[in-house]
Amino acid sequence: MKNSNILNNDYFCLIMRIDIISVLPELLVSPLSHSIVKRARERSLVEIVVHDLRLYGKGKYRQVDDYSFGGDAGMVLMIEPIFRLMEDLKKERSYDEIIYTTPDGLPFNQKEANRISCLYNIMILCGHYKGVDQRIRDHLVTRELSVGDYVLSGGELAAAVIADAVVRLLPGALTDQTSALTDSFQDGLLAPPIYTRPANFMGWKVPDVLLSGDPVKISGWQEEMSVDRTQKLRPDLIDEPDKD
């Protein structure tokens, strides 16, 4: 379901819910408790709940992982605890997307963050160890996302990255609502350089145009700088703009 409230600036209207499933919930506490995400939670723009998968594990040791069939090295998250936890969550609300964080997922980028920010209820399953039983990916997950071509120790930091990038886009999360629009990648380009006082630090000067007070000249310069930086640093964004 699309979130039609996305342009509604009513700060006290809860517009998004993110449920995160993890075997290491502590890893998610700090990244989601500061700065913009903290403010968005305080303003009830988003409710983020982290669920400890181990509570759904069976036996004395609350087992949630097991050896893989076929004998590959490494432990695999079992289907049963994940299924039961997801079923409990689904009793409370229907989910627009059930995301699994994995290095072999689709690349997570600004376009994807924008898309997710228009949804209401999101579940994120954090991979761990070797990953999860393939049947979870085949039957329960609706989207598989990677935050980059490298392997993290688990999907928790990836889930935090995704939640952070999405939450800052919610109306009211940023103090200056337009600043999300001037972020790098929002128009397919890197952001221009920015400066603050002093205008001259030991002879290192702020470009004159930024001190000119002429908004047309300033935005022209910023656009030029954006294109220039993108050509130099990320030519792929210009060559293949709709790659993802």
CA dist 23 and 230 (Å) reads 39
CA dist 97 and 29 (Å) reads 22
For ligand ADE, the closer CB: 45 or 167: 167
Two tokens, residue 157: 């930091």
CA dist 99 and 91 (Å) reads 18
Which amino acid, one-letter code, is at 201?
Answer: F
The window from 77-85, 152-160, 177-185, 227-235 that contacts ligand ADE (CB under 6 A) reads: 152-160
106 binds ligand ADE (CB under 6 A): no
Cβ of residue 82: shortest distance to ligand ADE, in angstroms?
16
| CA angle, 214 then 191 then 228, to 5° | 85
For ligand ADE, the closer CB: 12 or 150: 150
170 binds ligand ADE (CB under 6 A): no
121 binds ligand ADE (CB under 6 A): no
101 and 147 Cβ atoms separated by less than 8 Å: yes
Q: How is residue 178 annotated by DSSP?
A: G
For ligand ADE, the closer CB: 40 or 160: 160
For ligand ADE, the closer CB: 15 or 28: 28
112 binds ligand ADE (CB under 6 A): no
Binding-site ranges for ligand ADE (CB under 6 A): 101-103, 127, 146-148, 150-152, 155, 158
